[in-house]
Structure 1
Amino acid sequence: MSKPTFEDRRKLEVKENKLQEMRTQSKMKRDVTVAVSAEGFYRTGIMCDVIQHAMLIPVLVCHLRFHHSLNVLEESTKYPFKNRALLQLALTHPSYRENFGTNPDHARNSLTNCGIRQPEYGDRRIHYMNTRKRGINTLINIMSRFGRQHETESNITHNERLEFLGDAVVEFLSSIHLFYTFPDLEEGGLATYRAAIVQNQHLAVLARTLNLDQFMLYAHGSDLCHDLELRHAMANCFEA
């Protein structure tokens, strides 16, 4: 199969833009009216906006209980964190989402259908551009981004970035310890020792010693029910 020419790429870009425009047009959607009997219902005076705000109460209670429990973690580690947001970020697994109760889908549907709906102001393409998409254009856009010239807070809400940084820190500390512990050992031997020390199974033991598994935020699904997956998540949390 021959490589696509520049003209083929231009045609593909035009078609993708046309498809994007069709998706943002509200006339492509249709409203469905469902008739529901009012028999057995009572007029309480509670409107949809009150319900929408009430659905956020479990999230608020969960947030307050979690930060109150972090006092126990700080007492056990004997280190008071200056920035609790970083501590929460380090304990947040990528699978974690705000838990609304026994069935989160019910709460999300209620929040979508009650009270304030999706914004109708401005250009709809601006609201759609922040959604996650795949394709060569998205890849090119990501690869063309430059680093910031000044310190900027990240918008990512899980611990994978901190894990990336913590992995280097753990290897650095292990390298220093091995360097001074074995002054006559060559580079190959030091690398072998370090590779044996910095393993997920060992980091998971350290995480369990700190009881990090009792403070981790992750989705209660089938993914982390297996002990191997849970130990891997605990090791990543320890690095973060």
Structure 2
Amino acid sequence: MNNLEILEKAIGYDFKDKKLLIQALTHPSVCEKVDSRDFLGDYQRLEFLGDAVLQLVLSHKLYLMFPEFPEGRLTVTRTELVKRKTLAKLGKDLNLGSFLVLGHGAEKSGGRIRDSIISDAFEAIIGAIFLDGGYRAVKKCILSLFDKLIHESANSSSEVNPKGALQEILQAESQVPPEYSIVNIHGPEHDRTFECVVKHMGIELGRGSGKRKKEAETQAALVALQNIRKSKKL
């Protein structure tokens, strides 16, 4: 059994076109050192595709699994499943780092254990499976790989923390925390509604409202999480 077969067994999918799997494992740093005529390409385009496929499959699963969840709660749960830390953990469980094709610089800087590279390659593999076997095949793989995490979400008794989830996503890119501010108060004193804006480094991420300040902040965080996933800016 060669290295690719070992990885395929761990993933639970046998590629018809092995070149797709090789491409999904190839870091962009490699392209600087190879003859372009023989180069299959790096994983960046497959990563783009895999991200979208993951979003679709997991969104559908969560929609069916949690009929009582409103849109915001579904968004937060999905965000937890597809964040970098989660994907890197799944990739490390597959021993993905040992199969990566890295350039000298990425190899020397510890690329085989770096969360950002492993999570990118994980998404690229999902994209490669989709191209090689279609939606049914990739859906089967995703649900198998995420089965434990999805059921942990279903069985968790604790409430999802939108503000905590937002801060974790933002601080993966920057140490600057989000800022919440009440920008409007509507209604009579006995029945007020607070409007909150959450910003990061001066950029507005979302707005929310509620009967209490904390509720307004939570709603603003939920909207921000939705906007982040839609824009993919962070």
Tell me the TM-score normalized by structure 1. 0.45
Greater C-alpha Rg:
1
Structure (1/2) with the larger strand percentage = 2
Tell me the TM-score normalized by structure 2. 0.46
Structure (1/2) with the larger helix percentage = 2
